[in-house]
Amino acid sequence: ETAVFQTPNYHVTQVGNEVSFNCKQTLGHDTMYWYKQDSKKLLKIMFSYNNKQLIVNETVPRRFSPQSSDKAHLNLRIKSVEPEDSAVYLCASSPGLQDTQYFGPGTRLLVL
Amino acid sequence: QQKVQQSPESLIVPEGGMASLNCTSSDRNVDYFWWYRQHSGKSPKMLMSIFSNGEKEEGRFTVHLNKASLHTSLHIRDSQPSDSALYLCAARMSNYNVLYFGSGTKLTVEP
């Protein structure tokens, strides 16, 4: 099956902990993205990676960092989570920078 | 300020009716629009994209674009209960190669 896969589906953690989310795409795309979708359903770009190069970082707090081993994988690490980090984190990929993006199922994070 | 605005925030139409959703960008660097549909608890799925002035039709879905006013609209005819979802408009800024999303229109199709 060709798609964008994310793990875990859901994660609950305490303030100050570190979390990591995984994303893998089997679509053969060159570009991958991380988005944050808040409680009002607003989708905001966090990072994009094209051929392992970070291209966009939209004023994201330093505690967030993307990690990529190859063009099919883009993980997201959050050091010392805060309550406002509670959201759904969506991974996406596209053939190139200007192409349609395909989304994974998302990881819902709840910070207590 | 959000670069992409959508209206209405929510919309209720009867089954078989026409749903019309609007999207406008405030940034003149926009060169491409996408419409995504997100069912509750699911990820956004691309419906249609448009970059040329005019109209594009695919089945029950029609999208219009007016580049001068940076306004796009999505029209769903013969709406079905399965069309009930959050509809997201995304605009690409040519100078940044970044997609900006609107906050969506929640469509409910009542049987």
pLDDT tens for each residue of B39-62: 998 999 999 999 989 999 999 999
pLDDT greater than 90 at residue A25: yes
Angstrom distance (rounded) from CA A31 to CA A28: 9
Among A24-38, A43-57, A70-84, B5-19, the least confident range: A43-57
Of B63, B81, B49, the residue nearest B20 (C-alpha): B63
Q: Measure CB to CB from residue A43 to each of B32, B97, B101 and give the nearest one.
A: B101
Contacts of B96 in chain A (CB under 8 A): 56
Q: Give pLDDT, residue A59.
A: 82
For A101, which residue in chain B has the nearest alpha carbon? Answer: B46
Mean pLDDT of chain B: 93
Contact B101 A102 (CB under 8 A): no
Distance from CA of A99 to the nearest CA of B (A): 10
Residues in chain B closer than 8 A to A98 (CB atoms): 32, 92, 97
pLDDT interval class at B27 (50, 70, 90): confident
Q: Which two tokens stand for residue A48?
A: 């994009």
pLDDT computed for residue B96 by the predictor: 67
